[in-house]
Amino acid sequence: ENIVFIGGKPFMNYVTGVVMQFTTKGAREVTVKARGKFIARAVDVAEVTTKRFLKDQNIAVKDIRIGSEEFENKEGKKVNVSTIDIVLGK
């Protein structure tokens, strides 16, 4: 599937990944996913991709889904972490 997971790599790696999905793979939709502290970076990736790199291709934000996931941390405690899925499409 056309999903880009946002993490700790340099910002432009993710922008390039999204652009590649649309240009070389011909994807109609690409989902940018992130959780926790990387949510802000996911929003930035989506904005920079649509407004700067793909503005001539009519790529826009189609859908935004937010939620939370529960998992156990290193101490064995259950914690909730926020999630976001930003769907970009033509």
> Is pTM beyond 0.85 here?
yes
Instruction: List, run by run, the mean pLDDT of 10-residue segments along the chain (90 residues).
Output: 93 94 90 96 95 90 96 90 95
Beta strands in the chain (DSSP E): 3-5, 29-35, 60-72, 78-89
Residue pair 48/40 in contact by the 8 Å Cβ criterion: no
Rounded to 10 deg, the angle between the 39-48 and 11-23 helix axes is: 50
Determine the pLDDT at residue 8. 94
Residues written for the chain? 90
Distance CA 22, CA 88 (A): 10
Residue pair 43/16 in contact by the 8 Å Cβ criterion: no
